[in-house]
Structure 1
Amino acid sequence: MLISVSSALSRIFLGALLVAGLAISVTGCSTAPPEGLTSVTPFDVNRYLGKWYEIVRLDHSFERGLTDVSATYSLKSDGSLEVINRGFNTKKDEWKSATGRALFTGSQNQGSLKVSFFGPFYGGYHILALDQANYQWALVAGPDRDYLWILARSKVLAPAIREQLVAEAKKMGFATDKLIWVEHNRTDH
């Protein structure tokens, strides 16, 4: 009798631990913009579609060691976006890619989306600054100030625009002293 009670308590404890871990994982994947920041309005998804090159980023594990990073956005028939992120892994001497799905978190007139590369878990993708006239550059954040990217339609961004966007990101509270400038030396495949 003692063994079965102990075994049942162990199963209940492990089950509670699993549920708590899952809850932390889900709540850790916030889709809201970083506190105090708002995404751009107006936003035209059709003008945002296509290929963007990563000019700069804050370091994070899923892009660590990658150069020549790009993201390509295309509209799917269900209204979601397909996102293909691609980069060159210098240690393995090979291209790496990941395909995800993005959905608007509210109005399609606002540059806030949630993106998933891992099943049901979504993270925020918020366009905080955008070249409204030509859609040639964008300043993008994740759900908090640990995620930041500057994207451009070409592999090189004019120094004055780079400096302006970095200064803007610094005012927003991002650790701009830790930015990684992405090299683009390879031909796209």
Structure 2
Amino acid sequence: MRLLRPVAPALLLLGLSFFTACRALPEDPPATVESVDLNRYTGLWHELARLPVFFQKDNERATAEYVMNDAGNIDLVNTAIAPDGSQRSVTGTAVPVAGSNNAKLKVSIDNFFAQIFGSPPDYGNYWILKLESDYSIALVGSPNRKTLWLLAKTPEIPASKLQAYIAYAETLGYEVSELIINNGH
């Protein structure tokens, strides 16, 4: 218990900083797709690229499994996979933001920080920026451009398609030079 005392203020400050940074909508938020059919969006997604995030190690890859629930929201399981094959998962819920045609979701993860700091802002923290017409590839980011994921229903996509999505993210103002690429892993 004594070891947690010096760490607790740092964790609280980190969580508070994250919460505060997510509260303000930027003046020029990125454009999203026009609409999303959540039934088609559900399924298993593989992370092909992402900006670094504090909750996932740089050498980990991830999957996200989305399932529609009876309330019309999405239950999710995000799993980080280490190079040695070990896994750790978190669960949560994605709720469509009113008026966004399901292109913006408010994702809440069932963890310690979410319980303390509450759910994300009303404009959502998971914006679908680009989506293949067959729902096989999606580019997802936060409106403040701090997080970005390239997801696909397969573990790998052609390099030309990967580069096209990265180029599109750059036009939206995301810092693509920092992307961690997992295509094919």
Instruction: Determine which of 103, 106, 116 is the counterpart of 2:95.
Output: 103
Larger Rg: 1
Equivalent residue runs for 1:44-63 within 5 Å? 44-63=37-56
TM-score, with length taken from structure 2: 0.77
Q: Is the 8 A contact 1:32 1:124 kept in 2?
A: no
Question: How many residues in Structure 1 have an aligned counterpart in Structure 2?
Answer: 164
Code of the aligned partner of 1:162:
L
Q: Mind listing any 5+ residue stretches in structure 1 that lack a counterpart?
A: 1-20
Taking a change above 3 Å as real, the CA distance of residues 47 and 95 of structure 1, as seen in their structure-2 partners, is: same
Code of the aligned partner of 2:150:
I
Q: Is the 8 A contact 1:33 1:141 kept in 2?
A: no
Q: Is the 8 A contact 2:106 2:126 kept in 1?
A: yes
Q: Secondary structure at the match of 1:61?
A: coil
Equivalent residue runs for 1:147-166 within 5 Å? 147-166=147-166
TM-score, with length taken from structure 1: 0.76
CA distance in 2, matches of 1:130, 1:183: 17
Matched, 1:128 2:121: no
Matched, 1:41 2:34: yes
Identity %: 29
**Shift, 1:31, TM fit:** 8.4
CA distance in 1, matches of 2:16, 2:166: 35
Taking a change above 3 Å as real, the CA distance of residues 105 and 184 of structure 1, as seen in their structure-2 partners, is: same
Higher strand share: 1
CA displacement, residues 67-108 of structure 1 (integer Å, 9 cap, x when unaligned)? 3411011111122211110121347x6211000111111236
Q: Mind listing any 5+ residue stretches in structure 2 that lack a counterpart?
A: 1-13
Taking a change above 3 Å as real, the CA distance of residues 44 and 162 of structure 1, as seen in their structure-2 partners, is: same
Instruction: Determine which of 86, 91, 97 is the counterpart of 1:94.
Output: 86
**Shift, 1:183, TM fit:** 6.0
